C-alpha cells in the first residue's frame, strides 16, 4: 500500500542542499516530540467504506503514532443505529496497533430518532449503548495497546455518567475529549427529552473544560488539546426556533475564557464538515483567539486522516501533515489562515 503525506509545515523551506535539509530535520524536534493521528467522520457510507477504513487503519499502523484520536461519526445519517453496526465499527477500532481514543458523534446517537437513522425512539438509549460498548473499560482507551485515561465520572463524581469524557497526558501535553456532537449539540426545541439531555450534558462538558485547564495550569502543561465531533463555528443552520449554533455558545465561551488564562498553545480537533482545514479558532464574536488553533479532519468521502506533530519544547507545539491513502480516492483539501 502506498501512503502519501502532504506536508503543510516544514523546517527546510529555505534550505537548498538536500544533505543540509536532512541534518536540520533530524535536529529540528526535541527529544519530547511525538505524533498522533486525528481522524473522524469515517467510516461513513456503509458497508462500502469498511474496506477504505481498513486501508486507513493499515496506513496509520504503518506510521506507528503514539496514539490516534477518532472524533466521532462512525456512520452516516442514512445508516440504521443498530447494535450490529456499532459493534462492527468497535471491532475495527480494535485493529489499531496503538491506542485509540474515541468520542461520540451525532450520527451514532443524537440523530438516531430520524427516519434514516433507523427510527430509534430514544437517542439517549443509543448513547447509553455507546457508553456500554465503547467505554466499558472506563480507565483505558481502545486499541491493541490501550493507554490509561481518566474519565470525568471518576474525576468529578457529580458527573458520574459522563464516562465518555476522558483526559490523559503525553510528554506534558494534556489531551481532553468531550461529548459535543453535531446537530447543534443535540439541543432541539421539538424534542423535550433532547433538550433536557442537553441541559444535563452541557454543564458536564463545561465543568470538564474548566477542570482540565485547572489541571493543565497546576501541572504546568506545555499545551492542551480538546477533541470533540462538532464544528462549533457552523452557524449556517437554524434548529427549530433556536438561534444558529446556540448549542455551542457555552463551549466556545468556556474555551476562550480558559485558553486566555492558560496562555499557552491550545489545539481544537473537530470534524462534522468533512473538509480538512487548519485555522484560528474563533470566539462567539467571530474574532480569532490568539493562542488557539482549530484542526478540522477529513471525513465522509475523504477516508483519510491527519498526522499531528507535537513538540512540547517548540513555540507553536503543533504541526500538521495530511495522511492520504491514494487507494481511497482523491481529497478535497483546503487550508485557512
CB 315 within 8 A of CB 322: no
Q: Please, where are the H alpha helices in the chain?
A: 18-28, 49-63, 83-93, 123-134, 152-155, 182-185, 192-218, 249-262
Which triple of cell numbers denotes residue 5?
Answer: 503525506
What is the phi/psi pair of residue 62, to 5°? -65, -30
Question: Distance (Å, rounded) from C-alpha 309 to C-alpha 154?
Answer: 30
Model pTM? 0.89
pLDDT at 1: 46
Tens of each residue's pLDDT in the chain, 337 residues: 444 444 444 333 323 333 333 344 445 688 999 999 999 999 988 888 999 999 999 999 999 999 999 999 999 887 888 999 999 999 999 999 999 999 999 988 888 876 554 556 688 999 999 999 999 998 999 999 999 999 999 999 999 999 999 999 999 999 999 999 988 888 887 788 888 999 999 999 999 999 999 999 999 999 999 999 999 886 545 555 555 568 899 999 999 999 999 999 999 999 988 889 999 999 988 899 999 999 999 999 999 999 999 999 999 999 999 999 999 988 875 544 3
Residues 6+ apart with CB under 8 A from 10: none
- The per-residue b/e assignment along 6-38, b for 16 or more CB within 10 angstroms, e otherwise, is eeeeeebeeeeeeeebeeeeeeebeeebbbbbb
4-328 topology per CATH: Purple Acid Phosphatase; chain A, domain 2 (3.60.21)
Largest Cα span, the chain: 64
Quick one: which of 41, 40, 35, 51 has its CA closest to 1? Answer: 51
- The per-residue b/e assignment along 223-260, b for 16 or more CB within 10 angstroms, e otherwise, is bbbbbbbbbbbbeeeebeeeeebbbbebbbebbbebbe
334 CB-contact burial (10 Å; exposed 0-12 / middle 13-18 / buried 19+): exposed
What 3-state DSSP class applies to 181?
Answer: coil
* DSSP at 115: G
Which triple of cell numbers denotes residue 296?
Answer: 478540522
pLDDT at 331: 82
pLDDT at 41: 94
CB 322 within 8 A of CB 331: yes
pLDDT at 27: 52
pLDDT at 235: 52
Domains of the chain: which residue ranges?
Answer: 4-328
The neighbouring-strand residues paired with 140 are 148
pLDDT at 78: 79
CB-CB neighbours of 64 under 10 Å: 9
pLDDT at 114: 66
Amino acid at each position: 500500500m502506498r501512503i502519501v503525506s502532504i506536508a503543510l509545515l516544514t523546517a527546510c523551506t529555505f534550505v537548498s542542499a538536500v544533505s543540509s535539509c536532512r541534518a536540520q530535520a533530524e535536529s529540528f524536534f526535541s527529544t519530547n516530540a511525538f505524533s498522533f493521528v486525528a481522524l473522524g467522520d469515517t467510516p461513513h457510507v456503509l458497508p462500502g467504506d469498511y474496506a477504505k477504513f481498513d486501508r486507513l487503519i493499515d496506513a496509520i499502523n504503518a506510521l506507528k503514532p503514539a496514539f490516534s484520536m477518532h472524533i466521532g461519526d462512525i456512520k452516516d445519517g442514512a445508516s440504521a443505529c443498530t447494535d450490529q453496526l456499532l459493534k462492527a465499527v468497535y471491532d475495527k477500532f480494535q485493529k489499531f496497533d496503538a491506542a485509540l481514543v474515541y468520542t461520540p458523534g451525532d450520527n451514532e446517537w443524537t440523530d438516531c430518532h430520524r427516519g434514516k437513522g433507523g427510527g430509534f425512539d430514544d437517542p439517549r438509549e443509543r448513547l447509553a449503548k455507546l457508553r456500554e460498548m465503547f467505554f466499558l473499560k472506563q480507565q483505558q482507551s481502545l486499541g491493541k495497546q490501550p493507554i490509561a485515561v481518566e474519565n470525568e465520572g471518576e474525576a468529578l463524581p457529580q458527573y458520574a455518567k459522563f464516562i465518555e469524557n476522558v483526559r490523559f497526558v503525553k510528554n506534558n501535553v494534556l489531551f481532553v475529549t468531550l461529548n459535543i456532537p453535531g446537530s447543534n449539540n443535540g439541543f432541539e426545541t421539538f424534542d423535550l427529552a433532547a433538550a433536557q439531555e442537553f441541559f444535563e450534558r452541557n454543564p458536564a462538558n463545561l465543568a470538564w473544560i474548566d477542570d482540565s485547564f485547572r489541571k493543565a495550569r497546576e501541572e504546568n502543561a506545555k499545551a492542551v488539546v480538546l477533541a470533540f465531533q462538532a464544528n462549533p463555528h457552523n452557524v449556517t443552520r437554524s434548529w427549530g426556533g433556536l438561534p444558529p449554533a446556540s448549542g455551542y455558545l457555552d463551549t466556545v465561551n468556556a474555551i476562550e475564557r480558559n485558553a486566555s488564562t492558560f496562555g499557552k498553545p491550545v489545539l481544537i480537533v473537530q470534524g462534522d464538515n468533512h473538509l480538512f482545514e487548519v485555522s484560528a479558532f474563533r470566539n462567539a464574536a467571530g474574532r480569532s483567539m490568539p493562542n488557539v488553533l482549530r484542526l478540522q479532519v477529513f471525513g465522509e468521502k475523504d477516508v483519510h486522516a491527519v498526522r499531528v506533530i507535537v513538540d512540547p519544547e517548540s513555540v507553536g507545539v503543533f504541526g500538521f501533515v495530511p495522511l492520504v491513502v491514494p487507494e481511497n480516492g482523491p481529497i478535497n483539501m483546503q487550508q485557512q489562515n
